[in-house]
Structure 1
Amino acid sequence: MSGETISVPAEWARQKAIWTAWPADPGEWNGDLATPRADVAALVRALADGNTVRLLVNGAEAEASARAALAGAAEIVPARYGDIWLRDTGPIFARRSDRAGTSEKIALRFATNSWGGKFDLPDDATVGDEIARLAGTPVRRFDFVLEGGAIDHDGEGTVLTTRQTTLNPNRNGWTRPEAEAALATALGAKKIIWIDEGLANDHTDGHIDNIARFAAPGVVVCQAPAGDDDPNAATLDAIAATLEAATDASGAKLNVVRVPGVGRYRNAIGEISPASHMNFIIANGVVVVPVYGTASEDAALGALREVFRGRRVIGVPSRGLLGFGDAGGGSFHCITQQEPA
């Protein structure tokens, strides 16, 4: 609307709540709900000190099991959803301001096409509206496809994304100028930094939240190869080179911090999986980082502790969420959506 501005707070801004969801459909998890539920429970416990966690549960069994596992650690909220990837299916909370000085929190809602037509689940298209309703936040709706994991914000108008996702013909069929215009209108983006592609075998077609993240204004973290057999070595080096050559919305060069990556990681059936320490969630007082039992995880956590000196950095296992086959494929950032204060 004319005369208004939209801004998306950085993830490190003070948060009112973190929304996440409890695995509820055995068909989406190879018949095994206990394994991903253990990861979600560990995430919630790591967040519980200093954060309000609102955990969606779909159905009576999911509600009972969540209450048994997490009573007192999370607010249990019955709701309908397809699967737990709320970063992509939930709203993006933002602020709307106008020339009269009025400012309000709004929930940005976008179309979903099941990650380019891959995983079409009932209620994935509506859970974002339900979260906005539960949060008491008015909705601002846009008719193009956008997943929250495809973009990362510095809170000052700079957005990271990948060509592999945002310009993919299986989303909107955008050209780069069309994408930049849409993101400027919807998110208040002033500068888009384009990364070519994400990790091998990523179901999302290369979401940015698995490869490069803002940690503070002007500071971005990405991964370095771990071992000579790292299947993403060339990709990780290309990501770092692009970021090192980039400037933010203010025209300043970025401080690029490389963190040891996971390296070659095979899941339970031997597939090379897109395991990443970048899929962390920044919350009040804490950063929760996915770990996978690999040799590089201690060094990765140490590097992130240097970056996030004002927060506790906690490594939590995420092998169950990563899953195998068509099940899983993401981690903690993928299953959460922060609601700013």
Structure 2
Amino acid sequence: MNTSSETTLIPAREGFYFPAEWHPHVATWLSWPHTEASWTRERQELMFPAYIDFIKAIAESEQVCINAHNEIVMQAAKLRLLAAGADLSRITLLPHPTNDSWCRDHGPAFLINPEKKQRMIVNWGYNAWGNKYPPYDRDDLIPVQIAHYRGLEYVTPGIIMEGGSVEFNGAGTVLTSRACLLNQNRNSHLKQADIERYLCDYYGVQQVLWVEEGIVGDDTDGHIDDTVRFVNEDTVLAAYEPNPNDDNYTFLQEIHRELRAMLLPNGKQLNIVELPMPDPVFSDGLRLPASYANFLITNGAVIVPTFRCDKDQQALDIIGLYFPDRKIIGIDSTDIVWGLGSFHCLSQQEPAI
């Protein structure tokens, strides 16, 4: 039987760190949609085909672990997956109650220590992006439930932190945004230096690089996984909008200016690659946070949201240049992004040692 316990150690001092997303995975974690928190019932029926295609794409090269709210949700999920021809031997459904589906933010942060051949989990606090969407009590318990399931030690820093707000190069650097991490609706008692200390201590990084804002329509207050993504230790794909009349133009121009001023610990500048933004996606007059940057890297593929747009193929081609050893899989996310997130937001990788 797996056992786990809470520890008070500081992970960085013990040699633990959060690896880059391209590091080999044991699995990818999801939380099955079951309420109307992000999609109405009608919208769920529209988004499920793409969601299941996403699961099947992950399962081609690694295990998929899914938090399923209860036995009824678990059985409904199995029926949908079987009907779609999914390989259930690559999919594990677990009875972990949830409020919503955004596992990137409420799921566990897995750390590794290759020298000790150990892993552990950081149990960050979660408050649904500044208490915007209560209740979130079940989602907040997910990291500890997964720690028990895996038999891993976990540490609880005692502050709010979301997986979509941080982006790692696996070599000591994390990118994040002030609009999110310094927002008063997260950790109002902490200043930027305090947040940086938590990031260094509990993610095992040595450097925190900050951009200011996110994109229009992002209800997370500016998650970095919609704007800037590392594809190797010194290269980022950065969302770019050339149209000065677009609402994202000024925000993204500023992010590029900030990125150009950054230096890595070895003194190198970032290699910045422009990743186009899709044409605006609207629903009921609301601009949705559609971005090609919200891709997920798996052991065998990069799964990229597409938006029925003539820029889709251009984005897939650019991403493919940096992952020649992986399949580049575009999946239509038009109905998924109605819930204000996409494939990276829905998932959290579990690294191998």
Fold similarity call, TM over 0.5: yes
**Counterpart selection for 1:34 from 24, 41, 45:** 45
- The 1:307/1:96 distance shift into structure 2, 3 A limit, reads closer
Task: Give the corresponding residue for 2:20.
Answer: 10
Task: Give the corresponding residue for 1:109.
Answer: 123
Task: Give the corresponding residue for 2:60.
Answer: 49
Q: Aligned pair 1:333/2:344, yes or no?
A: yes
On the 8 A contact 2:127/2:186 being kept in 1, the answer is yes
The CA deviation string for residues 259-311 of structure 1, in whole angstroms up to 9 with x for no partner, is 111132212x1211111111100010100001111221111111111122221
| Greater mean deviation of Cα atoms: 23-32 or 42-51 | 23-32
On the 8 A contact 1:231/1:263 being kept in 2, the answer is no
The CA deviation string for residues 125-175 of structure 1, in whole angstroms up to 9 with x for no partner, is 111211222222221111011011110111111000000001111111232
The CA deviation string for residues 230-267 of structure 1, in whole angstroms up to 9 with x for no partner, is 32011112112211221123322111111111132212
1:45-194 equivalences in 2 (<5 Å): 45-71=56-82, 72-73=87-88, 74-96=91-113, 102-121=116-135, 122-173=137-188, 174-194=190-210
On the 8 A contact 2:129/2:186 being kept in 1, the answer is yes
On the 8 A contact 1:246/1:254 being kept in 2, the answer is yes
On the 8 A contact 2:102/2:345 being kept in 1, the answer is yes
The CA deviation string for residues 1-52 of structure 1, in whole angstroms up to 9 with x for no partner, is 4752331111000000001121111354223322232222010111121111
* Same amino acid, percent of matched pairs: 31
Give the residue type in structure 2 aligned to 1:130: Q
Distance in 2 separating the partners of 1:13 and 1:116: 30
| Greater mean deviation of Cα atoms: 26-35 or 110-119 | 26-35
Distance in 2 separating the partners of 1:223 and 1:258: 6
Distance in 1 separating the partners of 2:286 and 2:60: 36
SS in structure 2 at match of 1:319:
coil
Distance in 2 separating the partners of 1:51 and 1:148: 20
| Greater mean deviation of Cα atoms: 140-149 or 115-124 | 115-124
The CA deviation string for residues 51-100 of structure 1, in whole angstroms up to 9 with x for no partner, is 11112222334222211222424222222111111111011000258xxx
Task: Give the corresponding residue for 1:23.
Answer: 33
CA RMSD of aligned residues (A): 1.7
Give me the TM-score of the superposition, normalised by structure 2: 0.90
**Counterpart selection for 1:263 from 264, 275, 279:** 279
Q: Aligned pair 1:242/2:263, yes or no?
A: no
Distance in 2 separating the partners of 1:134 and 1:25: 24
Residue correspondences, number: 333
Q: Aligned pair 1:212/2:225, yes or no?
A: no
In structure 2, stretches of 5+ residues that fail to align are 1-8
Q: Which runs of 4+ in 1 moved over 6 A?
A: none
Give me the TM-score of the superposition, normalised by structure 1: 0.93
On the 8 A contact 1:286/1:312 being kept in 2, the answer is yes
- The 1:237/1:69 distance shift into structure 2, 3 A limit, reads same
Distance in 1 separating the partners of 2:194 and 2:159: 11
- The 1:280/1:22 distance shift into structure 2, 3 A limit, reads same
Give the residue type in structure 1 aligned to 2:20: A
Distance in 2 separating the partners of 1:206 and 1:159: 15
In structure 1, stretches of 5+ residues that fail to align are none
On the 8 A contact 2:37/2:99 being kept in 1, the answer is no
- The 1:22/1:96 distance shift into structure 2, 3 A limit, reads same
Higher percent of residues as helix: 2
